Structure 1
Amino acid sequence: MIRDTTATFTTVEKSDEDLQTLMQTRSDAFLVADVDGGCVGFITWGAFRAGPGYVHTAEHSIITVPERGAGRALMNAAMVQAQSQGIHVMVAGISAENTVALAFHRRLGFAKTGHLPQVGRKDGRWIDLILMSRELLKP
């Protein structure tokens, strides 16, 4: 995905060791979808921005194997767990070219809350970033 798509703006591929480290450092905010003994996706979340005013807002990243149906289950489980951790709003930063992810988040109740033109760069091109968010706890 990192190498072949603009779904993420990073160009540095992650090794198995990188993912192990991420799972260990975010053990309370990392879920894996397993189907028939194989990983078909994962979701992780963490601080949206630094500072105490943002402590109840988290940004998430979700990666799934296409057409395995794990996305909704992962996202729902993450929202329940994040809510139990005191998270009020989940934020997604999505490449404007990733229409599948935009539609996925819309179906789960996320709304477009921002459009940042040309903030990402990959493959020699500027790419827009769409911000979507959803409240988890009602005031």
Structure 2
Amino acid sequence: MLRRLDDDRGSAPVEFVLVGTLLTAVILAVLQLALALHVRTTLIDAAAEGARHAALADSSLPEGVDRTRELIATAVGEQYAGDVEASFGTFAEHPVVIVTVRAPLPVAGLFGPDRAMEVSGRAALEPLR
């Protein structure tokens, strides 16, 4: 009986499968996290660009929303450009335009729970002269 326990023949393929499965799961998790962070960063950038566009003296809030939707649809996809809104607000007692984007949180590829991620971009309101 002790002789059978000391024999490691055939253990290398089993170890390879176990370690390979664990390593594959870790790599896929890191890639999914990178994708989620990329989508979040892209949404923040699009919201900030839309706020800058809406804050121009010859522009309006709907134009900023349209610009944000266009950027998101081009970079990530139409499903992420559905819920975009713009409003006026203040930041440090200065008037600003705030563009808010609510989008799915990518959990499996680009699919995930709807409206789980909310980002916003702000831009100083350009005064009329």
One fold, TM greater than 0.5? no
Instruction: Kindly indicate whether structure 1 or structure 2 has the higher relative contact order, using CA contacts under 8 Å at least 6 residues apart.
Output: 2
Structure with greater proportional strand content: 1
TM-score (ref. length: structure 1): 0.27
Bigger fraction of residues in helix = 2
